[in-house]
């Protein structure tokens, strides 16, 4: 049971990281210094997609699920909704590259908007 809970927590963290990679740049409109955390995260996420690598969290999730006897339990919210988003059945190399370009495009657009907006003096 503890392994399954840990696996679910890792999946949620993984999902939040993916969201941060793709949409985290939007937080810069409110917290510009977050850029120093977002840029490395975005680069990592985009490189993972372009290179076709697996995120280091993936083997950890698999280990925890196996250790927790995943196969014998009914699917819960985390596994049904979050896992299918992170690991779609039809994920191909071409789709990974499209996802990488999508993340790159979204982030370039957001950073362009953040840095091109006028600064207000207080």
For 101-110, write each residue's pLDDT tens digit.
Answer: 999 999 999 9
For 70-84, write each residue's pLDDT tens digit.
Answer: 754 454 445 555 667
For 18-30, write each residue's pLDDT tens digit.
Answer: 899 999 999 999 9
Confidence (pTM)? 0.77
Rounded Cα distance, 78 and 2, in Å: 15
List the domain boundaries for the chain.
2-116
Classify the phi-psi angles of 76: left when phi > 0, otherwise alpha if psi is within -120 to 50, otherwise beta. Answer: beta
Rounded Cα distance, 79 and 70, in Å: 10
- Percent of the chain predicted with pLDDT > 90: 33
Q: For 11-36, what is the mean pLDDT?
A: 91
């Amino acid at each position: 049971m503890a392994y399954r809970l840990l696996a679910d927590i890792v999946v949620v963290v993984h999902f939040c990281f993916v969201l941060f990679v793709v949409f985290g740049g939007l937080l810069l409109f409110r917290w510009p210094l977050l850029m120093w955390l977002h840029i490395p995260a975005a680069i990592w996420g985009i490189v993972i997609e372009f290179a076709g690598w697996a995120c280091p969290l993936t083997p950890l999730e698999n280990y925890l699920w196996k250790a927790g006897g995943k196969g014998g339990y009914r699917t819960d919210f985390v596994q049904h909704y979050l896992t299918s988003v992170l690991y779609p059945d039809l994920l191909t190399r071409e789709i990974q590259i499209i996802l990488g370009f999508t993340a790159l495009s979204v982030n370039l657009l957001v950073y362009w908007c953040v840095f091109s907006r006028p600064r207000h003096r207080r």
